[in-house]
Amino acid sequence: MSYTIVLINFEMKTRDFAHGLCVFAQFAHTPHSGMTMFDWNDLRYFLELHRSGRLLTAAKRMNTTHSTVARHIDSIERHLGAALFVQHAQGYELTPAGQALLKHAEAMENVALLAQEEITQAMTPLGKIRLGVTEGIGIMFITSRLRGLFERYPGLEVELVAVPRFVSILNREAEISIHLERPNADMLITRKLTDYTLALYASPAYLEQAPPLNHRDDLAHHHWIGYVDDLLFSQELLFLNTFCRTPTVTFRSTSVIAQQQAARAGLGIAVLPNYMARHDSELVRVLPQESVQRSYWISTRRELHKSVRLRVVWDFLLELCTAEQTILLAP
């Protein structure tokens, strides 16, 4: 099998690439056949199965069949002479040999991504970037304010992954991620994006038929809208007890947008970000003196922080949130 290595002329990348090639040669050596090389492409399937944990999920992400993924994993295991995964009911888990290969495969993947970034930028500036966000700020705040980003960088393409869960950068679900908690991982660069304020909202129709609501103590007599406790993806979402010691929660959803719709439908009182609800004509702020503050954090992998396309999105989001503090922190 023939292959070509393209050396990219930038300092850190060249050093890491050379280290990766040495590691690759070390793993590719078998005592029976001397120096043999498994297919470089196999590592892509190895990394995806590790990140997704299941053959079908890995196949879907790579736009192929599960038998193709299995064939590539079998190929790399035969060349290395070691099993890389064990299968459990919950999915596939790395063996010690798989763990040893993982750190080197990821280092080589990172160098390849950086090389691709430099070449791509030289040919066609910017390109595609995936932004993972919680759905509240992603759908109700960021999306409507992206026009300025595209006007400034017409060659940019953004994929917004707005879901009511944690979006993993380490598993490459996104290149930039916005979290409710500060991630604790050495491989990430993280900084606070912004603080934001949440308050109590209900519909006029609900308030007309509900018990009087003039003081904090009155909240115990009302219906509440909240999150599904056992599906919470962040402890920062546990704020009902901040307002009421024993709230009567009659509607729960993993989605803050669904909670807003439930409040508009008159199902009870919801704790909503002010940037979502303060201008909603179908909601009324209740007990205006009551509020709570939380934070958003923005993260990316360390090796991608030097990417031009990533930096323009990263800087735009920081500038946007700084400029919109009166909305995000509205009392």
Q: How far is CA 203 from the centre of its chain?
A: 32
For 54-70, what is the mean pLDDT?
89
Which pairs from 153-156 meet CB under 8 Å and 24+ separation?
153/125, 153/126, 153/312, 155/124, 155/125, 155/126, 155/127, 156/126, 156/127, 156/129, 156/309, 156/312, 156/313
pLDDT of 84 strictly over 90? yes
Residues of the chain with CATH 3.40.190.10: 125-195+295-328
Q: 230 burial class (0-12, 13-18, 19+ CB within 10 angstroms)? A: exposed
Q: What's the whole-number mean pLDDT along residues 7-12? A: 34
Lowest mean pLDDT among 52-66, 76-90, 296-310: 296-310
Per-residue model confidence (pLDDT) at position 26:
43
CATH topology (fold) of 125-195+295-328: D-Maltodextrin-Binding Protein; domain 2 (3.40.190)
Are the CB atoms for 293 and 171 separated by under 8 Å?
A: no
Query: Residue 33: what pLDDT?
Result: 43
Lowest model confidence (mean pLDDT) among 39-43, 68-72, 159-163, 192-196:
39-43
Average pLDDT over residues 276-302: 94
- Which CATH number applies to 11-121: 2.60.120.620, 1.20.1250.20, 2.40.420.20, 1.10.10.10? 1.10.10.10
Q: In which residue ranges of the chain is CATH 1.10.10.10 found?
A: 11-121
Q: Would you state the structure tokens that stand for residue 277, as one six-digit string?
A: 């609800």
User: What is the rounded average pLDDT of the residues 218-228?
Assistant: 95
CATH architecture, range 196-292: 3-Layer(aba) Sandwich (3.40)
Residue 121 pLDDT level (bands cut at 50, 70, 90): low
Q: What is the pLDDT of residue 41?
A: 81
pLDDT for res 116 = 67
Answer yes or no: is pLDDT of 302 > 60. yes
Is the pLDDT reported for residue 28 higher than 50?
no
Give the amino acid at 274: N
Mean residue pLDDT across the chain = 83
3-state secondary structure the chain: CCCCCCCCCCHHHHHHHHHHHHHHHHHHEECCCEECCCCCCHHHHHHHHHHHCCHHHHHHHCCCCHHHHHHHHHHHHHHHCCCCEEEECCEEEECHHHHHHHHHHHHHHHHHHHHHHHHHHHHCCCEEEEEEEEHHHHHHHHHHHCHHHHHHCCCEEEEEEEECCCCCCCCCCCCEEEECCCCCCCCEEEEEEEEEEEEEEECHHHHHHCCCCCCHHHHHHCEEEECCHHHCCCHHHCCHHHHCCCCEEEEECCCHHHHHHHHHCCCCEEEEEHHHHCCCCCCEECCCCCEEEEEEEEEEEHHHCCCHHHHHHHHHHHHHHHHCHHHHCCC
Give the global pTM. 0.64
- What's the token pair of residue 294? 């939380």
Higher local confidence (pLDDT), 220 or 3 = 220
Query: Alpha carbon of 317 to those of 99, 137, 258, 275, 294: distances in Å?
Result: 35, 11, 25, 16, 17
Query: What is the phi-psi region of residue 131: left when phi exceeds 0, alpha when psi lies from -120 to 50, beta otherwise?
Result: beta
Q: How far apart are CA 118 and CA 8, in angstroms?
A: 9
pLDDT band per the 50, 70, 90 thresholds, residue 105:
confident
Q: Is the pLDDT of residue 259 over 90?
A: yes
Please determine, for residue 307, whether its predicted confidence score (pLDDT) is greater than 70.
yes
User: Model confidence over 128-143: pLDDT tens digits?
Assistant: 899 999 999 999 999 9
Q: What is the pLDDT of residue 122?
A: 54
Q: What is the pLDDT of residues 33-61, one digit of tens each?
A: 444 556 778 888 998 898 888 899 889 88
For residue range 241-253, list pLDDT tens digits in order. Answer: 889 989 999 999 9
For residue 36, what pLDDT is reported?
A: 52
Tell me which residue of 121, 124, 37, 128 sits closest to 79, measured CA to CA: 37
pLDDT at 213 over 50: yes
CATH 3.40.190.290 location in the chain: 196-292
Q: How far apart are CA 187 and CA 234, in angstroms?
A: 21
Which pLDDT score is estimated for 61? 83
Cα–Cα dist 68/60, whole Å:
11
Residue 200: per-residue pLDDT: 97
Angle formed by the axes of helices 11-28 and 66-80, nearest 10°: 80
Give the pLDDT confidence score for residue 29 in this predicted structure.
42
